[in-house]
Amino acid sequence: MTAEDVKRAIRNVPDFPIKGIQFKDITTALARHDCLCWMKDEIVKRYKDKGITQVVGIESRGFILAPAVAMQIGAGFVPIRKHNKLPAETVSVTYAKEYGEDTIQMHKDALSLEDVVLIHDDILATGGSMEAAINLVKKLGVKKIYVNCVIELEGLHGREYLEGKAVDVDCLFGIEVDE
């Protein structure tokens, strides 16, 4: 199993969620045991020796691999959810997306000053939603933040956008926006 095998298993959905967006659907790769294991194992390999104490998954596709990675590296799992989905006191960040605005939240007591955090999501596009997640985690004053996504949409410059935000960014592989 290679990154190229996983890339070939990802479905492209034109005009979703709005016209002009080429949506990269990883559910077709997740449905394959070999692809799912490769993605989880590759993330674990990259982060197992970084001292990570919490893996933060962004709703919703970030919830798929983040808990499995957390269990494997001996860390906890913390969800970042959309507005009004968490039951206890939260911290929030509102941000602009390519096709609208959104608010994300995390429990106020989910992280501590001693935590080393890995934020995980499926796709890094322009970097807007990941920047919001980074800002949310920073509100709780953690020691260090790493960022991982399965796919980096090349040509949208999300990685460059996140540079200088005191995080290390890594993606398992890149895909051209029009692929």
* Residue pLDDT, tens place only, 22-58: 899 999 999 999 999 999 999 999 999 999 999 999 9
pLDDT at 98: 65
pLDDT at 17: 84
CB 136 within 8 A of CB 155: no
pLDDT at 46: 98
CB 65 within 8 A of CB 120: yes
Which pTM value belongs to this model? 0.95
Strand partners, 76: 54
Marked catalytic residue, from 8, 11, 98, 176: 98
For 82-108, write each residue's pLDDT tens digit: 999 999 999 999 998 766 789 999 999
For 113-167, write each residue's pLDDT tens digit: 999 999 999 999 989 999 999 999 999 999 999 999 999 999 999 999 998 787 8
Token output for 74: 């001996």
Token output for 98: 């390519």
Residue ranges of E strands in 8-87: 11-14, 22-25, 54-58, 76-82
98 is an active site residue: yes
Marked catalytic residue, from 61, 81, 131, 152: 61
pLDDT at 67: 98
Query: Tell me, which fold does domain 49-176 have in CATH?
Result: Rossmann fold (3.40.50)
d(CA 137, CA 91): 9
pLDDT at 53: 98
**84 C-beta neighbours (distance < 10 Å), count:** 10
